[in-house]
Amino acid sequence: MNVRGTSQSCKQIDVQALAVAVFKGERPNSGFLKDLDKQVGGLVGNVIQTEEFTAKEGETAYFHLPNSGLKAKRLLLIGCGERDEYRAAQISQMAGTAARFLRGKNHQRIAIAPRAAGDGERTAQMVIQSALMSLFEPDKYRKDKEKRELDRIIVVIEGADEKALQRGAERGGIVGEAVNYTRDLANEPGSYLTPTILAARARETCRKFGLTFDVLDQKRMEKLGMGSLLGVSRGSDEPPKLIVMKYAPKRAKRGKKLLALVGKGITFDSGGISLKPGDNMELMKYDMSGAATVIGTMRAIAQLKPSIPVLGVAPCSENLPSGKATKPGDVLVAMTGKTIEVINTDAEGRLVLADAIAYAKKLGATQIIDMATLTGAVSIALGDVNTGILGTDQVLIDGVIAAGKEVGEKFWQLPLDKEYSNQIKSDIADVKNVGGRKAGTITAAAFLKEFADGVSWAHLDIAGTAWGDDAKPYRAKGPTGVAVRTLIEFVERSARDQAS
């Protein structure tokens, strides 16, 4: 995909179609919209005056331009709602809607004019990454899948710094491709993405982009005493893997800080002996979305080259029932020596994360962000709008939330008071892996907290936001790649803070 940023006038851009943001209540009687309306013979003013197009968020108006002052032969107006509410999320949705709509019209070369004030480089990045994200389709295995593709996307911000726009466009290409790579992993059927295959995909990513790679097999995990992770894998014939990826900058400042991203990699989750209902169980291929997020984020970090080291850890396993599987009532011994009573084998994500968090600490991590499709309870609490976030370090939590706001992803902090830990006390072991029906998302985090002591830690429950049940004008249904953009932004902010 060829991506570019330009500060030229829209009328000079030689593309097949031009997409332009329009705000609610805006009239073509001055400035940019007036000039655009003049170039297209009053078409813009006409649809606004007749209220065929009111510029409410997501609304579109599409024009053929056989004779106009624009080089583009098609014009797409995209409603963006109120101008004072036009922020990262709305810019992203505008760009995604533009690319997705115009690809559907079989255009190969398009330009997008977001009309956003402020930092042109950042706006260009948001436009390009969102446009690329909008092009993802979950139809990889369809013989008759749609073959229309875009070849070139240009983001146009008139009067901006041309070099800054190009930098932003290139960075947007890196981030957008990383998000789509994450989504592709999350969309793979369990038979096509076993722990072994996922480890191979991670290895290839490391080889291609210059990351350090290691993978722990079952024997190495046994030597380290990872009984919690191995207790989950016991029911499957597929061996578990613990993926380790590391980015080390060439010119890192000396310091003792090391950020680790830890992601749950259950490549298929049947629930184990505590078997899930059959309805929609096919979607449990996405239960490795946390691991996919780690791999996709590390892919982008390797290309963007921040000045701080980052560790990526992904514990991978299947969770299946068999004569060898862990049973409710069994006791597992984690890497830390802590004993765990397994009440429900379908609460397996926290079991693999427990040993992965402990291993990240062993590798020197001082700051850990874990992410997992961990609980159905988070969907009940927050739906598919906000990702739940909890942790022990308020500065870290605030940093993640702020990074999310910058890129248009929403996080909502849930409490983690010590009283919730009482719910996971076991009569026969140190802890149990579920705490009852009440506060399920919080007690899952309280369990992880037992293994994150001594480090700055935040937990992202992406169960409600990692999969979109319905298609949007700017996004296909299926995996969303949530949190990749936020984590990249967080890493880059951390690098700037440490450099100052």
In the chain, which residues fall in CATH 3.40.220.10? 2-160
| Ranges of H-type helices in 234-376 | 289-304, 349-362
Q: Does domain 181-499 have CATH number 3.40.470.10?
A: no
The predicted pLDDT at position 255 comes to 65
Distance, in Å, from the CA atom of 128 to the CA atom of 62, rounded to the nearest integer, reads 21
User: What pLDDT score was predicted for residue 252?
Assistant: 63
Percentage of the chain beyond pLDDT 70 is: 99
How many C-alpha atoms does 142 have within 13 Å on its Cβ side?
7
Both tokens assigned to 184: 């592709």
CA 458 to chain centre: 16
pLDDT at residue 148 tops 90: no
Residues 39, 61: Cα–Cα separation, whole Å: 16
The structure tokens listed for 385 are 């709008």
Which helix (DSSP H) or strand (DSSP E) does residue 177 occupy? helix 162-187
Q: Where are the alpha helices (DSSP H) in 317-421?
A: 349-362, 377-382, 394-407
What per-residue confidence (pLDDT) applies to 254?
61
- Residue 319 has what pLDDT? 98
pLDDT digits 0-9 by tens, 15-74 = 999 999 999 999 999 999 999 999 999 999 999 999 999 999 999 999 999 889 999 999
H-run or E-run covering 468: strand 467-468
Give residue 333's pLDDT: 98
Percent of the chain scoring above 90 in pLDDT:
96
Decide: 216 and 242 in contact? Cβ < 8 Å. yes
At residue 253, the pLDDT reads: 62
Pairing assessment for the beta strands 456-461 and 387-391 based on DSSP bridges: antiparallel
Place of tokens 């949530």: 482
d(Cα 334, Cα 231) in Å, to the nearest integer? 9
- Residue 467 above 70 pLDDT? yes
DSSP assignment string, 59-88: -EEEEE-SSSSSS-SEEEEEE---GGG--H
At position 242, the amino acid (one-letter code) is: L
Q: What is the pTM of this model?
A: 0.97
Q: Average of pLDDT values for 480-494?
A: 98
- Band of residue 145 on the pLDDT scale cut at 50, 70, 90: confident
Please provide the average confidence, as pLDDT, over all residues in the chain: 97
Q: What is the CATH number of domain 2-160?
A: 3.40.220.10
Quick: pLDDT tens for 186-201.
999 999 999 999 999 9
Q: Where in the chain is the domain with CATH 3.40.630.10?
A: 181-499
How large is the average pLDDT for residues 151-176? 97
* Measured distance between the N- and C-terminal CA atoms of the chain, rounded to whole angstroms: 35
Which residues neighbour 474 within 8 Å (Cβ) at sequence distance 6 or greater? 58, 92, 93, 94, 95, 96, 97, 100, 130, 134
Helix (H) or strand (E) holding 171: helix 162-187
Convert the pLDDT of each residue in 83-113 to its tens digit. 999 999 999 999 999 999 999 999 999 999 9
Positions annotated as catalytic residues are: 276, 350
Instruction: Over range 438-454, report the average pLDDT.
Output: 98
Please tell me what DSSP assigns to residue 425.
Answer: -
What is the chain's Cα-based Rg? 24
- Tens of pLDDT along 246-304? 999 987 666 679 999 999 999 999 999 999 999 999 999 999 999 999 999 999 999 99
pLDDT above 90: residue 343: yes
Q: What token pair was written down for 58?
A: 């997501």
Residue 411 near residue 401, CB atoms below 8 Å: yes
DSSP 472: B
* Residue whose tokens read 């310091």: 255
* Cα 236 to Cα 90: distance, rounded to the nearest angstrom: 44
Taking Cα atoms as reference points, which of 367, 258, 252 lies closest to residue 306?
A: 252
Question: Residue 475 has what DSSP assignment?
Answer: B
Q: What is the pLDDT of residue 251?
A: 75
Secondary structure of residue 321 in the 3-state scheme: coil
Residue in 314, 344, 320 with CA at minimum distance from that of residue 233 = 320
Is the confidence at residue 227, as pLDDT, over 80? yes
- Residues near 345 by beta carbon (within 8 Å), at least 6 away in sequence: 232, 271, 272, 273, 274, 319, 321, 325, 326, 327, 328
- Give pLDDT tens digits for 54-67: 999 999 999 999 88
Residue with tokens 């950020």: 259
Q: Tokens for 352? A: 């693999």
Query: pLDDT tens digits, residue range 122-132?
Result: 999 999 999 99
What is the Cα–Cα distance from 430 to 297, expressed in whole angstroms?
34
Distance CA 161, CA 121 (A): 8
From residue 100, alpha-carbon distances to 23, 26, 137 in Å are 20, 24, 10
